[in-house]
Structures are given as structure tokens and as C-alpha cells.
Amino acid sequence: MATEDKLTLTQTNPDGSQQVLEITSKTMTSEEVSSDPSLLEMIIDAIFDNGTEEHETYLVPAGYVEASGPVDPPEWVPPSDWDLVAPVDGTGAMLHDATPVLTPDSELGGSTDWSLPLNVAPLVTVEEAGNLDSASDLEPGPTNDYTQAARDAQSAADDFVSRGDYRAAQEAREQAEAAAGLAGDDSMLGGYDSQNLGFAADKQDLADQYRQEQTDLLHQGDYEGARESALQSGYAMRDADSLAGGSDHSGQSGRDVHNLDWATWNETNAEENLFNAQQAANDGNFEQAQMYTEQAGWQQSSADQFADQANPESLQWNVDPSSAVETGGSYEAAVNSIDTGFTPTTDYSSGADFSSDGDDMTC
């Protein structure tokens, strides 16, 4: 029959303190030990436990069955008062295949880590994700606005170049460069900068000056001088197109030079025939003098007709449609309407004007 005994153990710790352990035990028969050995094992383990798993004894709940392999954790359900977030990709769409991942030091039912790789867009709520139109909506407002202003101004500059209005293109490009500088991004800018376009506009002005000189000389009857001016106008216009990256607008000068070549050739022949007529008359050969005079007449008339086709102020001007350009355009960007919390140093008025005063058919 089992009897109870008390055992008192005294342990001296390394720091000199003592720990007293009092154990109440039972003296059991061999039959009782065989039927329930757990009590004796726990007492022995408590006395001789050295922190290793050897001789470890565990109390387990009734009905416990040891598994032969790994067991999947139960599905974690967040508290009802949590405001869940969903990861989104670079386009603003939710990542439907994203799953919560338990942090390494968490327990079942503990905190959940929804973090994504660094190249994935920041987290937004489900409601916010539904309102995103594109990834650009995640960018800071002022920077995005300056970037768009630079794109708009560059697009206007390209449009002006295609119309041959290089001065307006220079103005638009200057504003594109200013907006790109404020945005910190110049990737939207084209290859021809405002300096190139400024030089192109100056060459275009020079071509116009030669064109006016050509017109004045034609009114004076100086076809040879007008031809030289037309030639110089073409050279200047060709330089302007090259500097701006525009299409060739020098074709009009080419036509004018061609017509003035014929004008000067016919005029030279007319002068020679007049000289021959004078010589024949001096020799008394009036019939031959009359013939030379008639030839000189129709040759001069032909020279005048060719010259008229090279006169920009004449209704007979032989126009080259590919050389037509527009002038007087302007562009005003709305950069100063962007709310950045400070006033930009460059002053831009709002609105945009792609208008041009008209088609002056200059090259």
C-alpha cells in the first residue's frame, strides 16, 4: 500500500544563494508504478534536468496523437476591425495571387506581413486601388504636372517645326526645357534644342530678307541681281531647315532661280540682237536690222515673262507648295498654374495658343 514521504533538497547556486525544494512523494508498490510511471519520471526529471532533450518528460493532453509528418497551420483569419490592404502592381491593378506571409518570429494567429518586393508599387487600400487610372497616379502631383507641361510644350515645338514656324518652335521649346528642369526629367525633349531652333529662325529671317531683295531688284529690271538674291535665299532657307530638323522649304528659291536663269538668258540674247540691229542699220541693211529688232523684242518679252514667274508679288509667281511656311505663331504654357507651394522663377501665363498669323508662302 502506498505511503507519503516528504523530501527536502537544498541546492547552492554559483552566486552563493541557496534554493530549497520540498517534494512530497509516495511510496508505491511495483504494481502501482507499472500502472502509472509518469509521476516518478517527472520527479527524476525535475531533479536531474540539465537542459538537454535527454530524459525530457512532457505532459500532453488526453487524446494527443503524434503526427508522422509536417502539419499545415490552420488558415489565419484577421480580426474584424482590421483595415485590410491589398498589394497592387505597377499599373494599379491588385495582385490577386498575393497571399499573406507569416513573419519568421510570428506564431499562428500572430501578425501578418503583406510586404512586397521593392520593385512593386506601394500599398493602397482596396478602395483606393479601384480609383487608380494608371501608375502615374501614384507620382507626386507637381512633378507629374511639370512633366506633362514639358510634354505639351515639346509637342507644340514639334508641330511648329512641321509648319515651318521656327521662331514659334523656339519659344515652345524654351518652355519645354524650363518645365523639364522643374520636373527633373528631360526624357520627353526632342533632339533639336531651343538654341538650334533660334539659329534656324535667324536663318529663316535672313532668307526672307533675300527674298524681299529679290523682289525689289525684279521691279528695277535687274534680273541678274534678282537671281543672285534668290540663290542666297535658298542657301539660308536650307540652313534653317537643317538646324531645326524641318522638311526642305528651299524649293521655292530653286524655282525662282530657274525662271530667272531663263529671264537673264533671253534678256542677254535680246541685247545682242539689238546690237546686231544697230550694226545692220549703220550698214544700210535696214531689212536685216528690222529682223534683229523683232527678235530682240520677243526675246525681251520672254525674259520679262520668266522674271514675272519669279516675282513673289506677281500673280504669275510660280509657287512651290512644299515651301510654304507659317509665321507669327506663339505658345504659352500653364506652368505657373501648378501648385507647388512656391512661385517658379520663370513666369508663364496660362493657356496655349497654336495659332499662326497666316501663310506667307516664304521659304
Mean pLDDT throughout 343-347? 45
Mean pLDDT throughout 153-172? 96
Cell of 326: 507659317
Q: Over pLDDT 90: what percentage of the chain?
A: 50
Residue 76 falls within a domain, yes or no? no
Residues 205 and 340 in one domain: yes
Return mean pLDDT, the chain. 75
Output the pLDDT for position 127: 47
Cell of 261: 536663269
Residues 221 and 120 in one domain: no
Residue 157 falls within a domain, yes or no? yes
Output the pLDDT for position 202: 97
Residues 134 and 239 in one domain: no
Residues 11 and 133 in one domain: no
CA separation (Å) from 12 to 15, 16, 18, 22, 24?
Answer: 8, 6, 4, 15, 21
Residues 163 and 257 in one domain: yes
Mean pLDDT throughout 77-89? 53
Q: What is the pLDDT of residues 247-272, one digit of tens each?
A: 999 999 999 999 999 999 999 999 99
Residues 163 and 296 in one domain: yes
Mean pLDDT throughout 33-59? 57
Residues 11 and 103 in one domain: no
Residues 293 and 308 in one domain: yes
What is the spatial distance between Cα 151 and Cα 148, in angstroms, rounded to a whole number?
A: 5
Mean pLDDT throughout 149-163? 95
Residues 169 and 310 in one domain: yes
Residues 124 and 167 in one domain: no
Output the pLDDT for position 34: 61
Name the residue range of residue 233's domain.
144-359
Lowest mean per-residue pLDDT among 67-81, 87-101, 314-328: 87-101
Specify the number of domains making up the chain. 3
Output the pLDDT for position 38: 63
Residues 22 and 106 in one domain: no
CA separation (Å) from 13 to 19, 51, 119, 279?
Answer: 7, 16, 56, 147
For the beta carbon of residue 161, count every other beta carbon within 10 angstroms: 24
Residue 63 falls within a domain, yes or no? no
Q: What is the pLDDT of residues 178-213, one digit of tens each?
A: 999 999 999 999 989 999 999 999 999 999 999 999
- Structural contact between residues 193 and 177, judged by C-beta atoms closer than 8 angstroms: yes
Mean pLDDT throughout 19-28? 69
